[in-house]
């Protein structure tokens, strides 16, 4: 009995000493949650060590509070990913502009902004933001490169479901369970797309095959909310 008690106490001590990550949590199968719903643990503002104070986490929602003048900037994951399937939901306030970037290479001394390296799935209030008039800048578009096949974005204030899959250069965007963009990166056709875009003068754009996931703070006065952020390595 004495030996059993000692072993039990040792196991309890080891369990208590083992660190528990609240940022990366298994959901089901190979899916992991990279937002714990309560904190910004596992994320930081680009080029900084922690998340800026404008990014607030509570009740399962990550909120960019645009009323804050301090603590602004794009949020990026601590981890880097390649060959992934990313799922999340977002909603916005009237007139909002944001985005979800991937393959972001974090080197502020060389790239001051996330968009200099990371392609973007656009988040936009198509009806109330000027970019809604540009057919490659609307919600769900591969920003400035490929427009959506069909418009499936929901009205302002409603949650939109996103899935971004990237595997060996095959890229797919889904918005509200509909495939809206499909292409192959790093091919001759892809290079022509980039050469004809605003990214042509950004030599690091879409050249990295592994990088951070980023949620954009476009710098405006409109709020954006995110939830249920999950990722699976492919």
Local mean pLDDT, 10-residue blocks, the chain (234 residues): 40 37 59 98 98 98 96 98 98 98 98 98 97 96 98 98 98 98 98 98 98 97 98 97
Distance CA 81, CA 8 (A): 39
pLDDT of residue 25: 62
Q: Residue ranges of the alpha helices (H) in the chain? A: 2-17, 188-195
Distance CA 10, CA 4 (A): 10
Of residues 172, 96, 88, 177, the one with CA closest to residue 139: 96
pLDDT of residue 135: 92
Distance from chain centroid for Cα 196: 25
pLDDT of residue 55: 98
pLDDT of residue 28: 60
Distance CA 58, CA 37 (A): 6
For residues 123 and 224, is the Cβ–Cβ distance under 8 A?
yes
CATH class of 20-233: mainly beta
Of residues 159, 105, 96, 164, the one with CA closest to residue 130: 96
* Entry pTM: 0.88
């Amino acid at each position: 009995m004495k030996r059993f008690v000692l072993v039990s106490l040792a196991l309890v001590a080891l369990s208590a000493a083992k660190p528990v990550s609240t940022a990366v949590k298994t959901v089901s199968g190979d899916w992991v949650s990279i937002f714990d719903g309560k904190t910004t643990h596992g994320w930081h503002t680009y080029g900084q060590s922690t998340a800026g104070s404008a990014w607030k986490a509570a009740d399962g929602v990550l909120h960019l509070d645009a009323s804050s003048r301090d603590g602004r900037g794009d949020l990026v994951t601590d981890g880097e990913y390649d060959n992934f399937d990313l799922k999340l939901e977002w909603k916005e306030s009237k007139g909002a502009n944001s985005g979800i970037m991937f393959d972001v290479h974090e080197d502020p001394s060389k790239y001051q902004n996330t968009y200099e390296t990371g392609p973007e799935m656009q988040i936009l209030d198509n009806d109330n933001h000027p970019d809604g008039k540009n057919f490659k800048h609307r919600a769900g578009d591969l920003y400035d490169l490929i427009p959506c096949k069909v418009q499936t974005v929901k009205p302002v204030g409603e949650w939109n479901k996103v899935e971004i899959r990237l595997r060996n250069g095959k890229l797919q965007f889904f918005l509200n369970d509909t495939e809206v963009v499909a292409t192959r990166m790093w091919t001759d056709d892809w290079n022509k797309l980039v050469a004809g875009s605003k990214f042509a003068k950004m030599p690091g754009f879409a050249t990295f095959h592994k990088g951070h996931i980023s949620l954009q703070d476009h710098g405006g006065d409109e709020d954006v909310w995110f939830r249920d952020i999950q990722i699976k390595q492919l």
